[in-house]
Structure 1
């Protein structure tokens, strides 16, 4: 999620580092002579990223996994495609899909102002909730300033959890950056407000609503929207790290535990490379929301650079065509998933989030290569 991730890839220099290319476990093994271009791209990513990196890709009938480096420092344990990790802002696509289901049910309208549903929530400090629509929130075009929930660590409840309303109030202390609809500013506050909307309309906590509406129907057995207070990363898990890379030198320390409710509907979820591919494939195939709702999700207007829709972004592929997906960065992890309309999918992750120098371009190259390598 945006802590402090770059939504769109930025070119950064690849650091040179020592790393080891490791095979995946037998259930997911890929012969060493297959997908050589993707292997090269993954090596480059891992050399600029965390202790390890992995990509899981395929189409509607086959899949494969490549891994480089390690999922646990001081070991040769490669990252597996069925291991849990925190997905950060890829949570936003699940949140957006839940809102679009409510649109399908006639319980919310994309172009109705948020004040109609949450009176008085988006107000003050220059904000006017009667001018900011649900669509604006989903598309980050409401003028709400960028906000990192990690600055709210001192706002925890006595039990250490965080309330959406508290996080939203904190986010709205930052003044508007544009008039509603006039600009694109990626802000977690938008999706925290949408979490409040989901709770208001469903009568359920947002983690339960997303679980019952998206996770369970799709059979995503290793995807979790943790309840407030649940800090555990289910086994098997990829260990996440803090650290730095300077040339060939790097230093890693394990991520300090935090309560995921500080990110909530903007970035609290846990999943695997396999489950993420399954989710995005189902979404783009029309098995999560209606065809009409999916069409709305995939409208990326000029104000967003023609890239960001409603909880998903579009990227052009080097082999032609386009793919849809989202990225996510949170303490310990950086990940991204892309899928195409013809059923190709690719999910990639590394087990460190280098907030000041994220390997966004290297990650984008891995995904593009994985989706395009076998295309004639």
Structure 2
């Protein structure tokens, strides 16, 4: 199955046939997973409709195929949405990346330790705030989806009264930092992060499949959770299928592959300064600047390669997805599966990325 996919991509991308052996090798490595789990792959060139392919069943115990327009949980790729949302408010001069966040939290700053008051959105979005990775585990039992702004405050408030555990500008990946960034946007707008994502990002781009939590629509893949040495399918009805909704700004978005590719195309358009783009060119390019390690604002930036690219991956441990933007080729690649298979998906995407994905037709 994956061998057929590889051959299809070779023809579609116009990839040199000398690289066919690389694709076939990848096919052999990933073939053992393909019959039991769903796989989605896609690409989009600038100005062209996205192309996607889906394979496998909706879960391991059925032969029912995943649908072509199925929605996939994208985990922390959500962070690129939250960062872009912040930058929309930066473009309007409502927010500043480098203003202490106390300026945006008049109701709460009196209870905040000075370490927290002095944080900036740039630090939150680049994982250089010193915040811990996650809230205490007890907060993950708070699963209400009503008044999420108040629930996010309830998660954050007991923490921001104390000094930061790691007060420095060093890189430390923090879901909690993104929850706080989302909370700030809610405070200045008076709308929930979920409403803002739909109104400010999804609607202008026509991302009609975008939603929150695990996908539950007909034909969507079910997630699979590790249970000792086995993978157990997780029904979208009656089981815990995702992290709690308050974690939204850090990673609860789902959408279909075409819309995920359109999201990547929108980043290309904005950074080129195309008219009616989601962001100003300056804000888009700011997101691609490395702040610490190889992380910018909502994107991982690979600068030490012959062909630079930006990317993000995501998982709630039951799905795994990866989005890559080849900045020199104006090409977006995505791959997703409904089981935590970071190695398999990363290898697939890297092979596609490294196999000269755009044929030069300038002659």
Shared fold by TM > 0.5?
yes
> What is aligned with 1:56?
42
Contact between 2:303 and 2:309, CA under 8 Å: does it hold in 1? yes
Give, in angstroms, the shift of residue 207 of structure 1: 0.6
> What is aligned with 2:26?
41
> What is aligned with 2:314?
328
> What is aligned with 1:101?
88
TM-score, normalised on structure 2?
0.79
> What is aligned with 1:142?
129
CA distance in 2, matches of 1:46, 1:148: 38
> What is aligned with 1:276?
260
CA distance in 2, matches of 1:158, 1:54: 29
1:365 to 338, 347, 355: 347
2:233 to 253, 265, 280: 253
Alignment deviations for residues 261-282 of structure 1 (CA, whole Å, 9 cap, x no partner): 1422111211122211110220
CA RMSD, Structure 1 to Structure 2 (Å): 3.4
2:289 to 299, 302, 323: 299
CA distance in 2, matches of 1:34, 1:100: 38
CA distance in 1, matches of 2:27, 2:107: 48
Contact between 2:222 and 2:233, CA under 8 Å: does it hold in 1? no
CA distance in 1, matches of 2:76, 2:189: 22
Alignment deviations for residues 147-196 of structure 1 (CA, whole Å, 9 cap, x no partner): 1676423334597978111222366589634324x211111111111111
Change (3 A) 1:328 1:115: same
> What is aligned with 1:221?
208
> What is aligned with 1:242?
225
> What is aligned with 2:15?
none
User: As a proportion of its length, which structure holds more helix?
Assistant: 2
Alignment deviations for residues 210-257 of structure 1 (CA, whole Å, 9 cap, x no partner): 11000000001111246xxxx7623341111113696xxx44232533
Give, in angstroms, the shift of residue 311 of structure 1: 0.8
- Structure 2 residue 55 is matched with structure 1 residue 75: no
CA distance in 1, matches of 2:81, 2:241: 21
> What is aligned with 1:133?
120
Give, in angstroms, the shift of residue 258 of structure 1: 4.9
Give, in angstroms, the shift of residue 103 of structure 1: 0.2
- SS in structure 2 at match of 1:204: coil
1:212 to 199, 214, 223: 199
Q: How many residues align?
A: 336
Change (3 A) 1:160 1:204: closer
Contact between 1:54 and 1:65, CA under 8 Å: does it hold in 2? yes
CA distance in 1, matches of 2:234, 2:3: 21
Structure 1: segments with no counterpart, 5+ residues: 1-19, 354-358
CA distance in 1, matches of 2:268, 2:110: 35
TM-score, normalised on structure 1?
0.77
Give, in angstroms, the shift of residue 295 of structure 1: 1.9
Contact between 1:164 and 1:264, CA under 8 Å: does it hold in 2? no
> What is aligned with 2:333?
346
> What is aligned with 1:265?
249
CA distance in 2, matches of 1:215, 1:288: 10
Change (3 A) 1:203 1:94: same
- SS in structure 2 at match of 1:252: strand
Structure 2: segments with no counterpart, 5+ residues: 13-19, 271-276
